[in-house]
């Protein structure tokens, strides 16, 4: 591509942090994005891909310094004043953030927020004209019944719909460049496919340049035209999506692709012997709402049995009820009907003391390790806290137990670091060590790897697998990533709108699915192959056109 045609032209970009002894984290990067082109920047945590995006949009944190050249349609952006950058941001460059829910204000309606975005770029518009434009934007990103959605709040929309609202707000000023930073990380496979269709249309059909930051190679295969692979702040490989994903030249790129889990590669695995049930759920119902507005059944008559040493995978789209089941088990969601027994203790009828004692036998690993760890505690202190407060360990016994746990998750040399000094994968390993510190009989893992890049995800899954084999706890593993479920779990339960549609061994459900819904989920699971992904997208669009 002739660089003079580029919407975005980056040359010799260098980014450093610190003032007294600056540390350079991006080393002389060159990058171009043409009109209608999607360029994906991929790499592990700490590779410099997000810092590169922040440099382009002028949102580097205090203490960071960028040098080199960043031009938007020939205009140099580095060195602009804060006021000049504010005029560029939103108007000419827009950012689509990773968390669709957190990017929206929960106390304002969708309509208020989209109208505000429209009017912030054109104060001459009347309220009626801005509202009309807002509805047009929601239609553009395939929000159903946009006039009605304008009156709703973010919590009344699904994660995929919230992400599409975020895209609509980013398009409010008709920007020349869209920066999409992990835009599908928190979405299940079918909703992810819908959002990717929207982005593909914006890029290829409407001629917008898109800079995509992602760790998901399936997303790269479906959406990207070109790929830039980064490691330690440097570009190690660049080429078309087809060449980089199918015939990579750099060893590091091959390592990344080898770390991508794929359905059907694990083999049958060992069968579980009969073991006592740790978790037994019978006819569970979790309802929200009241008689006036009508009760909504988030979980509707679900029964589950997980035995010692077994990992059960719960899968389904957003709103299927899988996370609600996990919350009900730990007492964080109300049980309307049914029973939950943990090691034989009925959690609805047991005394308060018995419930408290039993819940101490349940460990939890959440999706976002940064939010689940106390930012004022070091890794060591985070693991010490439950051992001190619940087990009463002190002195040498405490130190030895903490060292054992940190060593098990490979963090002995980082015990005295705070969460902000650790990578995402390292923080998640601290969270796992904390969750297993009390030798749980049952572990609830709610999307524990969805925010991690593929190589870090592989490391965390290996740590998880080793600990589970050693401690033999029962586990409910909640995930929208079917390849991760296939790699880790012994059995699988598929949920749809709060009900079980299919359940059985991992090989039976994932390799020989019987329910059409399960087959649809499997068909939407992304793979790092551009030919496969583009064929799937063509089939989806054909199905929509023929509906």
pLDDT range class, residue 262, cuts 50, 70, 90: confident
Q: Three-class SS of residue 294? A: coil
Least confident of 41-45, 100-104, 528-532: 100-104
Q: Where would I find the beta strands (DSSP E) of 163-295? A: 177-181, 209-213, 226-231, 234-240, 277-288
- Average confidence score pLDDT of the chain: 88
Residue keyed to tokens 């330690």: 232
Question: Which homologous superfamily does the CATH classification assign to the domain defined by 3-258?
Answer: P-loop containing nucleotide triphosphate hydrolases (3.40.50.300)
User: Cα 95 to the chain's mean position, in Å?
Assistant: 17
Helix/strand/coil percent split, the chain, to 5: 40, 25, 35
User: Percentage of the chain with pLDDT > 70?
Assistant: 95
For 394-422, write each residue's pLDDT tens digit: 999 999 999 999 998 888 888 999 988 88
Assign residue 400 a region (left: φ > 0; alpha: ψ between -120 and 50; beta: otherwise): alpha
Q: Is 349 a residue whose pLDDT tops 60?
A: yes
Q: What is the pLDDT of residue 267?
A: 67
Give the C-alpha separation, 312 to 506, whole Å.
9
Alpha helices in 288-435 (DSSP H): 322-329, 352-359, 369-372, 379-386, 395-408, 424-435
Q: In what order do the strands lie in the sheet with 234-240?
A: 93-96, 177-181, 209-213, 38-42, 226-231, 234-240
Q: How far is CA 473 from CA 328, 342, 488, in A?
A: 19, 12, 14
Q: Three-class SS of residue 10? A: strand
For 71-121, write each residue's pLDDT tens digit: 999 999 999 998 999 889 878 998 887 766 677 899 999 999 999 999 988
pLDDT range class, residue 184, cuts 50, 70, 90: confident
pLDDT range class, residue 268, cuts 50, 70, 90: low
Helix (H) or strand (E) holding 39: strand 38-42
Question: Which homologous superfamily does the CATH classification assign to the domain defined by 308-333+351-530?
Answer: P-loop containing nucleotide triphosphate hydrolases (3.40.50.300)
Task: Tell me the sheet residues that pair with 362.
Answer: 442
Q: Three-class SS of residue 277? A: strand
Q: Quick one: average pLDDT of 350-363?
A: 93
Q: Are strands 311-315 and 491-496 parallel, antiparallel or unpaired?
A: parallel
For 286-331, write each residue's pLDDT tens digit: 987 765 556 778 899 999 999 999 999 999 887 788 989 999 999 9
pTM (two decimals): 0.79
Q: In what order do the strands lie in the sheet with 499-505?
A: 362-365, 442-446, 474-478, 311-315, 491-496, 499-505
Q: What is the pLDDT of residue 265?
A: 74
Q: Is 222 a residue whose pLDDT tops 60?
A: yes
The domain spans of the chain are 3-258, 308-333+351-530
Q: Where would I find the beta strands (DSSP E) of 105-261? A: 177-181, 209-213, 226-231, 234-240
Q: What is the pLDDT of residue 411?
A: 87
Q: Is 57 a residue whose pLDDT tops 70?
A: yes
Give the C-alpha separation, 105 to 122, whole Å.
21
Long-range pairs of 519-523 with CB within 8 A, sequence gap ≥ 24: 520/190, 521/189, 521/190, 521/315, 521/316, 521/317, 521/482, 521/494, 522/263, 522/482
């Amino acid at each position: 591509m002739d660089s003079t045609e580029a919407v975005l032209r980056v040359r010799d970009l260098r980014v450093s942090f610190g003032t007294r002894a600056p540390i350079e984290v991006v080393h002389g990067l060159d990058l171009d994005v043409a009109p209608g082109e999607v360029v994906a920047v991929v790499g592990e945590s700490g590779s410099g891909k997000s810092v590169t995006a922040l440099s382009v949009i002028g949102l580097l944190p205090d203490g960071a310094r960028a040098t080199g050249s960043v031009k938007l349609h020939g205009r140099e952006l580095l060195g602009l004043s804060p006021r000049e950058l504010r005029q560029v941001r939103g108007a000419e460059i827009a950012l689509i953030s990773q968390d669709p829910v957190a990017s929206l204000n929960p106390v304002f309606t969708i309509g208020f927020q989209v109208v505000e975005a429209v009017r912030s770029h054109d104060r001459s518009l009347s309220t009626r004209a801005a509202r009309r434009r807002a509805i047009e934007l929601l239609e553009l990103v395939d929000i159903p019944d946009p006039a009605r959605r304008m009156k709703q709040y973010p919590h009344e929309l699904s994660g995929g719909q919230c992400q599409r609202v975020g895209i609509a707000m980013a398009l409010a000023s008709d920007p020349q460049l869209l920066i999409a930073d992990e835009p599908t990380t928190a979405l299940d496979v079918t909703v992810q496919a819908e959002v990717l269709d929207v982005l593909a249309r914006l890029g290829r059909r409407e001629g917008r340049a898109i800079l995509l930051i992602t760790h998901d190679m399936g997303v790269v295969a479906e959406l990207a035209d070109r790929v830039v692979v980064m490691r330690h702040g440097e570009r190690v490989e660049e080429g078309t999506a087809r060449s980089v994903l199918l015939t990579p030249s750099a060893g590091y790129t091959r390592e990344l692709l080898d770390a991508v889990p794929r359905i059907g590669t694990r083999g049958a695995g060992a069968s579980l012997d009969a073991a006592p049930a740790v978790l037994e759920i019978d006819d569970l119902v979790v309802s929200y709402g009241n008689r006036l507005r009508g009760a909504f059944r988030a979980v509707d008559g679900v029964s589950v049995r997980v035995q010692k040493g077994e990992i059960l995978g719960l899968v389904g789209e957003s709103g299927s009820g899988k996370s609600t089941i996990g919350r009900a088990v730990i007492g964080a969601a109300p049980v309307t009907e049914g029973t939950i027994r943990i090691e034989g203790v009925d959690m609805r009828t047991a005394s308060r003391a018995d419930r408290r004692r039993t819940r101490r036998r349940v460990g939890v690993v959440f999706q976002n390790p940064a939010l689940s760890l106390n930012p004022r505690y070091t890794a060591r202190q985070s693991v010490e806290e439950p051992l001190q407060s619940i087990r009463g360990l002190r002195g040498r016994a405490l130190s030895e137990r903490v060292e054992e746990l940190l060593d098990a998750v490979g963090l002995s040399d980082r015990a005295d670091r705070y969460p902000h000094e650790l990578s995402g994968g390292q923080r998640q390993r601290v969270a796992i060590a904390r969750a297993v510190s009390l030798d749980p009989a049952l572990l609830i893992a709610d999307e524990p790897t969805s925010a991690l890049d593929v190589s870090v995800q592989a490391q965390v899954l290996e740590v998880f697998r080793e600990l589970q084999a050693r401690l033999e706890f029962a586990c409910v593993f909640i995930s929208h990533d079917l390849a991760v479920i296939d790699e880790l779990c012994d059995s699988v339960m598929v949920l749809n709108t709060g009900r079980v549609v299919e359940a059985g061994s991992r090989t039976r459900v994932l390799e020989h699915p019987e329910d059409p819904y399960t087959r649809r989920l499997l068909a939407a699971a992304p793979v790092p192959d551009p030919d496969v992904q583009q064929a799937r997208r063509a089939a989806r669009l054909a199905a929509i056109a023929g509906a």
